[in-house]
Structure 1
């Protein structure tokens, strides 16, 4: 849970940076470009009024009385030019327009109206056009004045600003990311410590949570410790009661077994059944399958211990037990439960086999597979095998409760057990545990 929460917090911070920085960059860049256009329009208006102040007409020709215009209008390729036309023809153009490939736009304006607009030709131009009635003594002439500026003059400072802004935003982004990472690790450090302590609890390295946590997690820590303490007390109480029960029953059973009547087949069978049932109920009650807290238990050392004991028991039969279990696999549960499950299955496999027993352990999900090369189990009898008291072999030992214990233990872990035919020739027992095991 802690890791999942930390991951969500990190993703939220990352996506906020990913969203806010580009959107802020675009907003500032667009605002700057809008300001450039406003400044360009104001600049062209100044040039327009300068031309109007010097404008005169003599014999149907436009003249400027002095050189009050900006030097850009006299320098070719300056990027700024001016045009004056009437309704039919071009009357005047500045020297800077001689090399400029610009065609007058076809705009219809009423006298006194002006228009700032983009004209797209071979290249783009921003044009300020104004229509007026020029009074030349006895006559009035309709004129249109166009002040033209190449868009490139706006793009150059715009691109320079974008590069500078991008450099700043990259620096700001790196700084914010570093601060976010520091804040992320600082705020999630308690969750990391809590996760590490929980893992130690699962591995059996400690019995409760011991570290200090912020007030938000302190209540969780106290509740978990109370839960663990209560579980341990209940488990110990159950075990004490079971130990007392086993001790109380041990003496009466022993007395009955020493009686001459106990040698009668009917009484001996019933005493053996009572002994087996007591053993079964004790093992069932002491099972940890329903524990709220399950510790991680390395599987391979237990297998080595168990197979070592079975080799001694069946040394005369010489049946090797092949084990396929990686060292890293762990079982989340009680050691006694796992030993009981594997002990019964492997013991039955050793009894039934001819020459070979195989045990395979996998994880994700945790799975146990026990196989042998014995006679196998008929399909119509497989389900009966898990019923208490049912024995499908011909061995004298046992009373048919081993596999019923296994089935109940497996069920307590919400796992499943199935019987099928093994490639070795005998039976194959497959125990499948839940994915979250």
Structure 2
């Protein structure tokens, strides 16, 4: 998984958990605060209730002085939302005394609203008041024996509870919003800097693949350091395997070429013998096959090496001078137009082999001129890398479509008078395919053959 994707997932996961935790905590705190506000409100109602019960239990007070000890002016203000009511329940008439604030209205009974009587003999609950207010009400039955039985009720406007809870929720929401922003910023900081070593490793591996570096360098946290060490060990092991493969290929080449040389020498000493001619013919085929497969194995071993980058301009210029000297007797002029920033993602000797084969082939067939052009093409699709396009044109007679298909096959030559084994173009095709490129043959603007080699660039 890429580091950026991991960072996004971690951030989204952390954000979701922060939101969930804050929401749940908010609901819990709001519920706790509402219960605490209700308990404080209930203590106030119970204080008034106990005062009224004491007044009912001492009926010796003069009527004009009864129920004056509540000390709450709202009980005197009509329809204020604060009421008390005392109802005699042992008579059919049901005499009732109430606060002036109740005016000519009556409070409902809590038992009619499903409120249960507690162990202390008190009922608590919410009821609808005379003016449609929501009231928090407490009532208690009082039995005075011969003096009668009463139901004492006290109610207060529950708006106080709701307003207090609402204000708390607003403050809580604002505080949690600020806290959430701080936590998210902290999470972004932690994800960004906590995953920075992984991003450095990703960039370092990209540098290794592109040839800008050979190993993972730098200090890493203890959690990431083992990954860097194992990656470097894997790179070293890959190099060792490739070197051993090269050695084995070289040993095999020498081991096979020596017996073939002996066979050829022995057959050549019997030139008049038809059997010797057949042996020489088959030995030549064996040499071509061995040369091709050994070259392919050698190429495959080199391509597996990471971190190889070659500057194209000096390589092409060296090949141009070499080929002009080789074909000086034919007077072939080689022109080159190379992007100075072009870089091949591979080894120099592979580039020399591919371009050298194409230029040598063009010089053999050219009338007087060969033109080399090297372009760097930007990636056409997201995620793709840049490509190197190497074009080799000659002004020879050119090839038909059938001839182009024939020369691309291993060991095929159109003109036996020309030197070579016929393996040049097939080796170029094999080598280009191992690098993820390709070779195409077409018609050059100068009238001869055009060979276009596409290779990975940096």
Identify the residue that residue 344 of structure 1 maps to in structure 2.
357
- CA 1:14–1:425 in 2, change beyond 3 Å: closer, same or farther? farther
* Deviation of the 1:33 alpha carbon: 0.8
Identify the residue that residue 95 of structure 2 maps to in structure 1.
none
User: What secondary structure, in the 3-state scheme, does the structure 1 residue paired with 2:68 have?
Assistant: coil
Task: Give the counterpart of 1:203 among 211, 214, 228.
Answer: 211
User: What secondary structure, in the 3-state scheme, does the structure 2 residue paired with 1:320 have?
Assistant: strand
Q: Deviations over 1:381-411 (max 9, x none)?
A: 4322222332347973434321122123234
User: What secondary structure, in the 3-state scheme, does the structure 1 residue paired with 2:18 have?
Assistant: helix
1:343-422 aligned at under 5 Å gives the runs 343-349=356-362, 351-352=365-366, 356-362=371-377, 364-365=384-385, 366-370=387-391, 372=393, 376-392=398-414, 396-413=418-435, 415-420=437-442
Task: Give the counterpart of 2:113 among 105, 109, 115.
Answer: 109
Indicate conservation of the 8 Å contact 2:115/2:124, yes or no. no
Q: For structure 1, which segment, 362-371 or 379-388, has the greater mean C-alpha deviation from structure 2 after superposition? A: 362-371
**Structure 1 CA distance, aligned partners of 2:12 and 2:151?**
63
TM-score, scaled relative to structure 2: 0.62
**Could you list the runs of 5+ residues in structure 2 that have no partner in the other structure?**
57-64, 88-97, 118-122
**Could you list the runs of 5+ residues in structure 1 that have no partner in the other structure?**
58-62, 96-103
- CA 1:211–1:251 in 2, change beyond 3 Å: closer, same or farther? farther
Task: Give the counterpart of 1:330 among 320, 331, 344.
Answer: 344
Paired positions, count: 404
Indicate conservation of the 8 Å contact 1:346/1:370, yes or no. no
**Structure 1 CA distance, aligned partners of 2:426 and 2:46?**
105
TM-score, scaled relative to structure 1: 0.64
Identify the residue that residue 304 of structure 2 maps to in structure 1.
292
**Structure 1 CA distance, aligned partners of 2:155 and 2:108?**
11
User: What secondary structure, in the 3-state scheme, does the structure 1 residue paired with 2:246 have?
Assistant: helix
- CA 1:181–1:400 in 2, change beyond 3 Å: closer, same or farther? closer
Identify the residue that residue 60 of structure 1 maps to in structure 2.
none
Indicate conservation of the 8 Å contact 1:385/1:391, yes or no. yes
1:34 aligns with 2:43: no
1:59-78 aligned at under 5 Å gives the runs 65-66=67-68, 68=70
Indicate conservation of the 8 Å contact 1:73/1:94, yes or no. yes
1:147 aligns with 2:157: yes
**Structure 2 CA distance, aligned partners of 1:306 and 1:201?**
26
* Deviation of the 1:142 alpha carbon: 9.8
- CA 1:75–1:157 in 2, change beyond 3 Å: closer, same or farther? farther
Identify the residue that residue 336 of structure 2 maps to in structure 1.
321
Identify the residue that residue 100 of structure 1 maps to in structure 2.
none
When Rg is computed on C-alpha atoms for both structures, the one with the higher figure is 2
